[in-house]
Structure formats: C-alpha cells, structure tokens
Amino acid sequence: MALATQSDGAVESAVPGAVSAQRMMAGLKTLAQWSKVATTPGEASSFAWLKQQLDEIGLKTRLISHDAYISIPGPARLVIGERTVPAITHAMSLSSPQGGLTGLLVDLGDGSRKAFAGREVAGRIVLVDGIASPAVAALASAAGAIGVVQISPHHLLHEMCISPIWGSPSTQTRAALPQVVAVTVSNDDGRALREGLSAGASEVTLYAEVDTGWRKTPLLVGDMPSSGKPEEPFILLSCHVDTWFQGVMDNGSANIAMLEVVRLCMEARRDWKRGLRICFWSGHSQGRYSGSAWYADNHWTELDARCAAHVNLDSPGGIGGQDLTRTGSAGGLYDIAAAAIAAETGQKLAGRRKARSADDSFPGVGIPSVFGSLSLQEPGEVKMRNDLGWWWHTEHDLIDKIDPDFLVRDTRVVLRVVLNLLTQSRLPLDYSAQISKLAQELEDLSGRLGGRFDLGETLEAAGSLADALVRLRRGELDPATHDQVLMRLSRVLVPLDYTAGDRFVHDPALALSPWPVLDAIRRLASAPEGDEGRFAAVDAVRARNRLSHALREALSVVRGST
C-alpha cells in the first residue's frame, strides 16, 4: 500500500499553473551576473539578494557568518621538456614549490584501487583518466605519490574539490587532506603525455597555486513556523550558493527554484502541519560541504528534536535534463518523491539510494533526505562523473544552459514534495521497503555464510520490525504521536543505513555501502577458512550486535506506540 500523497487538495490546488517560468528566469538573470566562488564579493552580493527575497516573502531570516576551511585554486600548468601544457589545479590540492614540482610520470589508467595495487608510485606523479576526485587524491596520497595529473574526458577542464574530508577538517581528520599537487589537462594533452611515456619521456614539472585556509563564510537561514509552538517539527529545504564561475545551473537554478517553492508554499500556509526552514549554504564547492556540516554540528540538538525531513536541490532545469528516474531518495521518502515525479513527468523513480553528496550533512542526526541532483542527462559518449552536462563546473555554465520548461517541471516536483511534507496530517515517511531490503540482504548473507555464522536473531528482529511498520501505516495513532514515532524511528534507521556508526561525526566524502554496519559480515562471508576467517568473525559479531540492538530499539519505538 503506497502512502497517501495529498492533503485535502492542498497540493493540487497550489501546484497547477502556479510555478512561473518568467519570474524564475528573471531572478536567474539577476543571480547570473555574479561569480560566486566562496568568500568573494560576488558570493556576498548573491547572499544579500537572496536574503532580500526571503524577507519580502515574509520569512524571518538570519545571515550567519562562521569559520570554514576554504580552498580557492589559482593558476596551474604542466611542463614537459620545452613544452608547456595548459592545466588547472583543484581546491584542497597542495601548492607546488616555487620552482615547480618535478617527478617521474607513472600511468595508472583509471586510477582505481586495483590500478594502484602493486605499483611503485612513491615520490612520483601519477597519470590517471577522469575528472579529479577525492578518491584518487586519497589513493595517491596514501601511496606516497607527490602529484596527480588527471586527464579530462574531453577538451574542457572541470573545477573540483579533492578533499575526502566532509566539512572543515578537525584535529582528527586533517591528516586525510590531500598530500599531492593535483592538476587536470585536456584529453588531447593527456593522450600526448601517454604517447610520450611510451617513447621514454617520463619527467614532468607541475606548477599550481592554491589559496587554502580558514575564512568567514555566510549561511542564510529563513524560518516560517506553522504554529507558535517552539518545539514543532519543521521541514528543511536547502541548497548551496557558492559555485564555480557564474554557476547558473550549478547552483543558481536551485537558488531560484527554492525561492519559487517557498513563495508558493506560503500561499498554502493555512494547510501546514509543520514549519519550514530554508538554508542557503556556502562552502559546498570550495569547502567540501563546510557550511551544511557546520550547521549540523552547531545545531545538532535542535535538528535532532525538530527536523523531520531534508529536501536538497542541486542543478535543476538544465538543457537536456530529461531523466528524473535516477535521482536519489533515502528510504523513508521514496513514496512521496516517486509520486511527485510520476505526477509531473510520468517517469518511474528507480529507487536509487541518496548519494553521499550535495550537502546531505544530516544522516548522522538521523534525518531522511531526498534529491540533490534531480534531473539528469542521458548518458553520452563523454564519460563524466555525473550526468549534469558537459558544462558542469566550467566557465560555460551560463544562463543558456537552462531550459525554462525543465526548470518549471523540476520546481513543480520539489514543490509537490515539500507541500506534502508540510501539509499531510501524518508525516509521510515509510521505512517498510527499506527494512524489507535489509531483511533480504540478511537472508542472502545467511545463505552465503552457511553454518559459519548465525544471523537468526537479527533476521527475526528485522522481520518483527517489518510487521510492526505495517501496523504503524494503518494510521491508528493521532497525528502528533505518529509524527514523533516516525522521527524517533528515523533517528535509529537513517544513521544505521547511511553512516559508519557515529552520529556526531561526518563520514568521509566517499561512497558508503548500503547498511555499512553489514560490511564486517560481508567480509566474513568472503573470508577463507582458518585464521583470516576467525579475525573477520570478531568484527562480524560486533556488527551483528550493533545491528540487532538498533533493530530492537526501532521495534521498541514502534511497538510502544501501537
């Protein structure tokens, strides 16, 4: 049974025909005049304009200034022999020494963990395919390389942040900052470097200037409660403002779409059952989500007590962005996301996990989230890190990359989701499918483990929780109690599925497996007999204890209310 996704006609009455392409494109033209690199005057002007818009809509706003570790790339080049190759460097890369960084070039192909394995790269510069990434920078740093040369998939060079640290570094995480000088060259120049290697030319010099350090960054918050109760739950709607160059699609279009969503939600305010909080972040592009991470850390108690769900938006409305099936949703929000996409496009949401990106800094708190990048390009010949268009993170991200009709469509999808979260009498979260997938994986693991490891108790707890969730969905609780139960349940299940285990820290900005707690049990299932299996079993027992305890806790939350 799918969750209900309407509330007394409030959503349908607010959505059709209400989203204005003309109004949004006019606002986007204003934002497009400023380059919005973090801590620059253009970013400050953008924040001031956005604050003015929220003030005029009627929200109570605060423009916060906080410390963040920001990295702004400067000039870069690569020299081989007498030839100078155009290049860019990246946020959080090391700067080269004054006379450049010289080393032998080693070709590592795709730059995967397998490509690094067994290769001697200490003191050398590695050549790898693809857009710069934290994963490659981390592998190169761990292997003792001194530099990385990335080969772009085409002639354009894409700006990136290569830190694997989520948010600003701490004393415990700062050692994970990249220890390499990283540059990117075009595909033609990369091909020439490879040809030179086969001919015996292997020494290159990298020049890179990167300005990295602590700076004050802005954070804009807008609030509109549904009642006068200070403890009422709220829905968080957010996006980043800082970007590369003008960044009209990434992320000006999201800034404008959010304003439109807020404006139209206000027209249905009489139907709200929860409050609305808007956050515009800095430090996304040049600080690896430093703004949203700071907010999660410094407002943890309030978020834990009151935030029911997080809707994040990144890069909507791009030309060619026809595919909405592959956007992400954390389990509990799948139904309303799927319903909104189906209503506006007829497309079926594929059930893709919410990616570890796009300022989703709140899974540790236990807040379910949806979207990030919403509409995607169809996969093309050029192998990109994502499907947001060839202009992504380049100087070509200008207003001509926006399709007004697609921007309206994407905004309507987000509007439907936010209105449902605001106006449903009962919070429309459902964890049934998420727990069913967990139970299925536990069954599969139990089969792979044979008699080596008993998952019976954990499987029983997952099955009991699934049954209890069915009863919860019958809607027998009063709305206020129902919401509190769903929020308490979120605080157990979201961290279990989307973090490595500590609710008060941010995992690295790298991919995590579904239900990371299962990783130790997965390793045991693949481990050979003997000592290796015994070592793996120690971790697996502890993982089973943690998972079983969390499932019992979740079951207690649900049973205690039904």
Tokens 């019992």 map to which residue?
Answer: 552
Phi, psi of 284 (to 5 degrees): -75, -55
Buried b (16+ CB within 10 A) or exposed e, 212-240: beebebbbbbbebbbeeeeebbbbbbbbb
Alpha-carbon distance 355 to 456, whole Å? 31
With residue 147 as reference, give the H or E element that holds it. strand 147-151
Pairing label, strands 203-224, 101-107? antiparallel
Residue 385 pLDDT class (50, 70, 90 cuts): low
- Looking at CATH, the fold of the domain delimited by 432-559 is given as Transcription Elongation Factor S-II; Chain A (1.20.930)
- pLDDT class for 131, splitting at 50, 70, 90? very high
Residue 149 has pLDDT above 60, yes or no: yes
pLDDT of 549 > 70? The answer is: yes
Average pLDDT over residues 341-369: 93
- Percent of the chain exceeding pLDDT 70 equals 96
pLDDT-derived band at 5, boundaries 50, 70, 90: very low
Q: Is the dihedral of CA 283, 285, 287, 291 positive or negative?
A: positive
pLDDT at site 451: 87
- H-assigned helices in 385-455: 404-423, 432-449
Tell me the pLDDT tens digit for each residue of 51-69.
999 999 999 999 999 999 9
How many other C-beta atoms are found inside a 10 Å radius of the C-beta of residue 357?
17
DSSP-derived 3-state class of residue 78? strand
pLDDT score at 200:
76
Does residue 116 or residue 383 have the better pLDDT?
116
Q: What is the CA radius of gyration of the chain?
A: 24
Q: What's the pLDDT band for 214 if we cut at 50, 70, 90?
A: very high
Residue-wise pLDDT for 287-310, tens only, equals 999 999 999 999 999 999 999 999
What is the spatial distance between Cα 125 and Cα 181, in angstroms, rounded to a whole number? 9
pTM: 0.95
What's the token pair of residue 188?
């033609």
Q: Which two tokens stand for residue 555?
A: 């079951």
pLDDT exceeds 60 at position 2: no
Give the C-alpha separation, 217 to 145, whole Å: 32
Q: Which residue has the tokens 């699934």?
A: 466
Report, in this order, helix, strand and coil percent for the chain, each rounded to 5. 40, 20, 40
Buried b (16+ CB within 10 A) or exposed e, 330-346: bbbbbbbbbbbbebbbe
Assess whether pLDDT exceeds 80 at residue 475: no
Average pLDDT, the chain: 94
Say what the pLDDT of residue 13 is: 61
As a whole number of angstroms, the distance between CA 541 and CA 506 comes to: 25
Q: 125: which strand partners?
A: 105, 147
SS3 244: coil
Domain 71-212 has CATH 1.10.357.140: no
Give yes or no for a contact between 411 and 422, defined as CB atoms under 8 angstroms apart. Answer: no
The tokens of 212 are what? 């990295």
Dist CA 82 CA 462 (whole Å): 65
Across-strand partners of 60?
A: 223
What's residue 516's pLDDT?
Answer: 96
Give me the CATH code for the 10-70+214-423 domain, please. 3.40.630.10
Does the structure show a pLDDT above 80 at 6? no
Residues 219-229 have pLDDT tens digits of: 999 999 998 78
Instruction: Kindly list the domain boundaries of the chain, sorted by start residue.
Output: 10-70+214-423, 71-212, 432-559
The label of the residue with tokens 């409030």 reads 10
